[in-house]
Amino acid sequence: MNYHESTPLAGIRYYTPPEDAVLSAFDGRVKIPYGDLPIPLLELDFNALGGAQPSYDAIGRGIYQALRMNPDCSFAERYAYLLKEAYPHFVAELANHIVMLDKKDVDIAYLDRKITCLKIFALIEQGNPHFPLEIGLALMEKGMDLSTLDSVTASLYQAEEFLQRALELSPASVPARHHLGEVSYLLGKYDAATCLWRGILAALPGDEAVKLEERLGRMAEGNVPRVPVVDYLEAVGAAFSCYQRNEWEEAAAILHDVLNDGVFRTEFSLPDLWHVLGLCCARLMMPHYAEEYLRQALELDPSREDVRQALEDLNK
């Protein structure tokens, strides 16, 4: 009889071990009973069993692949324990992956790989606040990326969950409180953000503390975006999709509404919004507005050659 994962993993088959099954590692110095645990195996290893129990190597390959494909899979904690106790070479490989990814200017695919590696380490070292903190930061980065705004809400709520876990594990952590406060602000939870930030002002460098205190002052006066920032970001994602479908008038209307909020516009200076708005106006035969918006994008980021080229094309 085989175990069936609720979300099947491609190339993985599950082996149901006998009740007395024991994983033996390091020449028998480590013995771990696993008779109650469905074991993921690579399909080739599963097909080669022929009625025998899987080898040490086959079990390692299978659980490592299962965790890399879905670190939230059923029995993930048990698999991570086996990895930690019996397969240190796979743990070292994961650590190397994280180091390599940290050295890259990563795109979303690389960021997802980093999150997966960090989640596995969070399972292996459940008492270590470093890993949920790093997962939270990576999810924040993913959520704020303009190419993935369709998933911004999910990413930010997941970031909130991991940052809260980091804070529970290390209540005095300034980075955890600081970044959890930022996520709370993005989600429109201003009271929570205020409580988190008030508690760390004295621990921040001078300039950073001054800026955060000024922000807290604005929040106390009710000077916050009209709707939560996450809603604006979702709207921007919708506008970008409209632009890709040549629905320029709809895209321009959404971006106008977002940029009409002075607080959002000031706190989140995103040249891409002005760039796309300018392109929409160019397509709608409104060259004066197109030039105005493109110049605003270039003012925010003078290095944007694509914006400079759009201006040149507009004036041809």
* Residue 231: predicted pLDDT: 97
pTM for the whole structure: 0.90
Maximum CA extent, the chain: 79
Whether the CB-CB separation of 5 and 74 falls below 8 Å is answered with: yes
In this structure, which topology does domain 246-314 adopt according to CATH?
1.25.40
Whether the CB-CB separation of 145 and 109 falls below 8 Å is answered with: no
* Residue 108: predicted pLDDT: 82
Give Cα separations from 111 to 91, 93, 163 (angstroms): 19, 17, 17
pLDDT in tens, the chain (316 residues): 455 555 568 889 999 999 999 999 998 999 999 999 999 999 999 999 988 999 999 999 999 999 999 999 999 999 999 999 999 999 999 988 888 776 666 678 888 989 999 999 999 999 999 999 999 999 999 999 998 898 999 999 999 999 999 999 999 999 999 999 999 999 999 999 999 999 899 999 999 999 999 999 999 999 999 999 999 999 999 999 999 999 999 999 999 999 999 999 999 999 999 999 999 999 999 999 999 999 999 999 999 999 999 999 987 7
* Residue 275: predicted pLDDT: 97
CATH number of the 92-220 domain: 1.25.40.10
d(CA 198, CA 180) in angstroms, rounded, equals 12
Residue spans per domain, the chain:
12-82, 92-220, 246-314
* Residue 116: predicted pLDDT: 94
Same CATH fold, 246-314 and 92-220? yes
84 class by beta-carbon count within 10 Å (0-12 exposed, 13-18 middle, 19+ buried): middle
Whether the CB-CB separation of 33 and 22 falls below 8 Å is answered with: yes
* Residue 150: predicted pLDDT: 87
Report residue 5: phi and psi, to 5°: -65, 140
* Residue 1: predicted pLDDT: 40
Whether the CB-CB separation of 200 and 173 falls below 8 Å is answered with: no
Which amino acid does the sequence have at 287?
Answer: P
d(CA 106, CA 184) in angstroms, rounded, equals 25
Report residue 40: phi and psi, to 5°: -75, 135
| Listed residue (288, 272, 276) closest to 246, CA to CA | 276
* Residue 5: predicted pLDDT: 56
Whether the CB-CB separation of 88 and 30 falls below 8 Å is answered with: no
Q: Please state whether beta strands 12-15 and 39-42 pair in parallel, antiparallel, or not at all (unpaired).
A: antiparallel
Q: Is 14 helix (H, G, I), strand (E, B) or coil?
A: strand
